[in-house]
Structure 1
Amino acid sequence: MKNIIIIAISILFASCAGSIATTEKEYHINKTVALKSEWKSNPKEWRLENDTLTGSGGPMHWAVIESKKKLPKNYEIDFKVNITRESLFEVMLNIDKENYIRTYLYNIDQNIVIGKGVYKKGSDEYEKRGGPTLFKKPMKLENNQWYAVKIRVANNQLFFSVNNETFLECSIEKSKLSQQGKLGFLTNGEAKITDLKIQKLKD
């Protein structure tokens, strides 16, 4: 029965015109989803257990997981994250080849940040990952605390909030950021993600 459910979910998402979510169907990550069929990652770095996605990297080698399908043009992402080790957790938005939008929580600077990102797969060289900060807002961030993250992209505007109390917003077009692409997550330590929901918004 479990195998039948997994196959059915895979067929459902395969029919969604290459998009990770549609207006008819939200995407939720849970134990019934075959992680390999929907995401590209190193199984030693990312694992799904009891509806919680855990990434394990290090300061010299960031752990990255990337969706196989594109995000819709307009979308909303909600989830909870807990940085249990080290300092950086990043949502990689609109991944297009090596470019993406950085939306992240950074314990060392005590900020949430929007930036322009680059990630060259297979390389741990400093200048071939990360990128410049464009906007930031101070926020007290601690390890072993759960944070509720909401990201909304609509009509080329990016809205990023944490715990519904600290907000950042920018124009994707004016900031010359990647306008469409895939979704990813990145950590330089250990981060846990739960209650992930991706929804397509009406164009």
Structure 2
Amino acid sequence: MIKQISITLIFLLVLSSCSSTISTSKKEYTLQHSKELKSDWEINSKEWILKNDTLIGNGSLSPWGVLVSKKQLPKNYEIDLKVNMTKESLFEIMLNLDKGKYIRTYLYQIDQNIVIGDGVYDKKDDSYGKRGGKTLFKKPMELENNKWYSVKIKVVNNQLYFSVNDKITLECSLEKSSLNQKGKLGFITNGDVKITDLRIITL
């Protein structure tokens, strides 16, 4: 009996370590160590680093600074983070990146909006039309450099909720908007950005 339990525990540990989803066996993922960044994310160290529990991104108008996970997001999930755009105008969270398409959820200082959009991403091509995409939904919000914002994203039963500071909220149906229902997570900046308290939970 004890031997059987031990074998079962070993099997579960192997399963969780080989999991193809970004969440852990505890249904929660946090980013705190450089080894996790290297093992779980496709990273260009000139664009993104992890320093003192803070994820720091550096990009430009061309190329953008892009960081993409190696693992799939769960079907139902919640993402929490705090972000500070220290330079330039765009911070974007890529959702359900799959086969060159993704859901754009971003803060955009030039238009002073938070946005949900339909995006395309070609990691080999920075040219216009190969990254970014059209706006589907937006709401005005006053956005500034060197200010921290709390971002929460929830996807439940193909319904997306995107809120900033628990004040401004956008939502949409992935199915009705013809948006990806599965894929990976990523971050984009066209300047300098800091991210702390990143937490991804399987719902």
Distance 1:85 1:156, change over 3 A: same
TM superposition shift of 1:60? 1.7
Distance 1:22 1:117, change over 3 A: same
Paired letter, 2:155: V
Runs of 4 or more off by more than 6 Å in structure 1? Answer: none
Match of 1:165 among 157, 164, 167: 167
TM superposition shift of 1:32? 5.9
Q: Which residue of 2 aligns with 1:118?
A: 120
Q: Which residue of 1 aligns with 2:104?
A: 102
Match of 2:129 among 117, 127, 130: 127
Alpha-carbon distance in structure 2 between the residues aligned to 1:57 and 1:162: 22
Q: Percent identity?
A: 64
TM superposition shift of 1:124? 1.2
Structure with bigger gyration radius = 2
Q: Which residue of 2 aligns with 1:7?
A: none
Paired letter, 2:85: I
Paired letter, 1:35: L
Instruction: Answer yes or no: is the 8 Å Cα contact 1:78–1:198 preserved in 2.
Output: yes
Per mean C-alpha deviation after superposition, the further-off stretch among 53-62 and 15-24 is: 15-24
TM superposition shift of 1:12? 7.6
TM superposition shift of 1:192? 0.5
String of CA shifts for 1:93-146, please: whole Å, max 9, x gaps. Answer: 000021000000000000000000001112111111100000000000000000
Aligned length: 191
Alpha-carbon distance in structure 2 between the residues aligned to 1:34 and 1:76: 19
Alpha-carbon distance in structure 2 between the residues aligned to 1:96 and 1:158: 17
Distance 1:30 1:22, change over 3 A: closer
Instruction: Answer yes or no: is the 8 Å Cα contact 1:88–1:187 preserved in 2.
Output: yes
Instruction: Answer yes or no: is the 8 Å Cα contact 1:23–1:200 preserved in 2.
Output: no
Instruction: Answer yes or no: is the 8 Å Cα contact 1:56–1:189 preserved in 2.
Output: yes
Q: Which residue of 2 aligns with 1:5?
A: none
Secondary structure in 2 matching 1:132: strand
String of CA shifts for 1:13-40, please: whole Å, max 9, x gaps. Answer: 9626311115723100113643110100
Q: Which residue of 2 aligns with 1:20?
A: 22
Distance 1:13 1:124, change over 3 A: farther
Q: TM-score, normalised by structure 1?
A: 0.90
Alpha-carbon distance in structure 2 between the residues aligned to 1:147 and 1:158: 19
Alpha-carbon distance in structure 1 between the residues aligned to 2:170 and 2:156: 14
Q: Which residue of 2 aligns with 1:140?
A: 142
